[in-house]
Amino acid sequence: MDLALSDEQQLIVDSAVAFLASSSTLAKVRVASETGDGCDRALWQEVAAMGWCGVHLPEDAGGLGLGLVELALLQEQLGRHLACIPFFDSVALAASLLRSLPGSAQTAALLGSLASGEQMLAVAMAQPDADLQWAACASANANANAIPSASASASARAIANGAGWLLSGYWPAVGSAHLADVLLLPAHTALGECLLFAMPADAQGLSLQPLQAVDATRRSANVRATDVQLPATACLARGPALDQAWQRARCLGAIALAAEQVGVAQACLDLTLAYTAQRVQFGKSIAGFQAVKHRCAQMLVALEQARSAVYGAAAVADTEPAAAVLLLHAAQARMEATQAALYCSREAIQLHGGMGFTWEFDPHLFLRRAQLASQRLGPVSWWCEQVAVQLLDEKPLAEAHP
């Protein structure tokens, strides 16, 4: 048992570091995010050419046949550079969902074009429903369905008709929706069953409302469908199989997102060390003040702990664990990484002093990413409450480690 990187894994990290240092500088990030739609398509092409879009997909699906650990290592470096590509939404989230569905010709086709980078995907995976959560908490009942099923995301309706399905609905704040070629959207039938649809971005009756970009490097849009006609094959999954895949994808996505947050925290520490070393106040480098040193050391602790949690969670995820075990580790990664990213980005601004408050200096770019990421796929409090259900309400879980 160990969580140190293997030589192959270290190689992946080293090559990603070298590649992104030139291909996704913060200067390029500012160009992509301050002008245009926040996507650096040249970068996406290069990334796709290296096979990153299929890093965790099986080789027969066009992927590299590696695991979530390797995906997390890439996500960490992409987060560190705020790379302006929809890697998280398309590769980490959409591909994880598609892979978790029962196999079909449609999912295989989508995975193939996703792995090659030919198509970008987006998933309308809404926030978990807070009311549901706390109701479970107050009644203190073990709530086996505490993880919101796909249905919680769907305020949308699907009606079967002769040509297939007629879809209408509204999905708020869908990550990278404005970039996606295909949108994965859940919707209900009249009987209340939940179905998942693949909708082409150019479908008639589909409209997007881009949101004001708090983090211009990672945008989202409200999605609205009005009587969109889809073929029967557009329905990818339904029922319990969909629910299970949805829960699993949320956990896998959470671990990948946490990896990105580790990268954000690392970047903030790096920026702060560089700035405080050269900034002189009261006749000495401010890096020599104990208050500054202690804050940087606390950033280091948060960062390294988060990194350990993310690597551990990703390694567990690669062992095909039970849903409850996966949830526990996803929650752990989210908690540690969210804390690290928020702490480090806030301190980076504070320790840059007045400069940290200027548009010109970079810390605020990371603060924005850290705040947005802290809410994606549910806030830490939601994840912790799910863990509390396991810890306090249910019979003791078979221990993750024998």
Partner 1 sequence: MNVQETAAEQGFRAEVQAWMAEHLCGEFAALRGAAGLGAPGYDAALAKRWEQQLAVGRWTGLGWPQAHGGRDLPLGQQIVFHEEYVRCGGPGRLGHIGETLLAPTLIAHGTPAQQQRFLPGILAGTSYWAQGYSEPGAGSDLAAVRTRARLDPDSGDWVIDGQKVWTSWAHESDWIFVLARCEPDSVRHKGLVLLLVPLRQCGVSLRPIKQITGGSEFNEVFFDGARTEGSLHLGAPGQGWAVAMYLLGCERGASTLGQQAHFRAELDDVLDVARANGAARDPLLRQRLAQAALGLQTLRDHALRVSGAPGDARAASIAKYAWSNWRRNLGELAMDVLGGACEAGPDDAVCESLQQLWLSSRADTIYAGTNEIQLNLMAERALGMPR
346 binds, among partner 1, its own copies, none (CB under 5 to 8 A by kind): partner 1
Binding flag, residue 1, partner 1 (CB under 8 A): yes
Which residues in the 233-272 window bind partner 1 by CB under 8 A? none
Q: Which stretch binds partner 1 (CB under 8 A): 35-43, 54-62, 136-144, 152-160?
A: 136-144
296 binds, among its own copies, partner 1, none (CB under 5 to 8 A by kind): partner 1
Nearest distance, CB of residue 339 and partner 1, angstroms: 9
∠ CA(108), CA(113), CA(118), 5° rounding?
175
Residues lying near its own copies in the complex (CB under 8 A) are found at 134-135, 137-139, 289-291, 294
* Residue type for position 194: C
Among 222, 224, 229, 238, binds partner 1 (CB under 8 A): 222
Which residues in the 366-395 window bind partner 1 by CB under 8 A? 367, 371-372, 374-376, 379, 381, 384-385, 387-388, 391-393
The CA distance from 176 to 186, in Å, is: 16
User: N- to C-terminal Cα distance for the chain?
Assistant: 13
The CA distance from 341 to 343, in Å, is: 6
Helix (H) or strand (E) holding 30: helix 26-34
Q: Any long-range contacts for 7-16 (C-beta under 8 Å, 24+ apart)? A: 9/69, 9/70, 9/73, 12/70, 12/73, 12/74, 13/73, 13/76, 13/77, 16/73, 16/74, 16/77, 16/78
With a CB cutoff of 8 Å and minimum separation 6, the contacts of 359 are: none
Nearer of residues 104 and 289 to partner 1, judged by Cβ? 289
Among 332, 338, 341, 373, binds partner 1 (CB under 8 A): 332
Among 31, 45, 108, 293, binds partner 1 (CB under 8 A): 293
Binding flag, residue 357, partner 1 (CB under 8 A): yes
Residue 123 in contact with residue 97, Cβ under 8 Å? yes
The CA distance from 381 to 58, in Å, is: 34
Nearer of residues 108 and 142 to partner 1, judged by Cβ? 142
Nearest distance, CB of residue 302 and its own copies, angstroms: 18
Nearest distance, CB of residue 138 and its own copies, angstroms: 3
Binding flag, residue 220, partner 1 (CB under 8 A): yes
Residue 122 in contact with residue 175, Cβ under 8 Å? yes
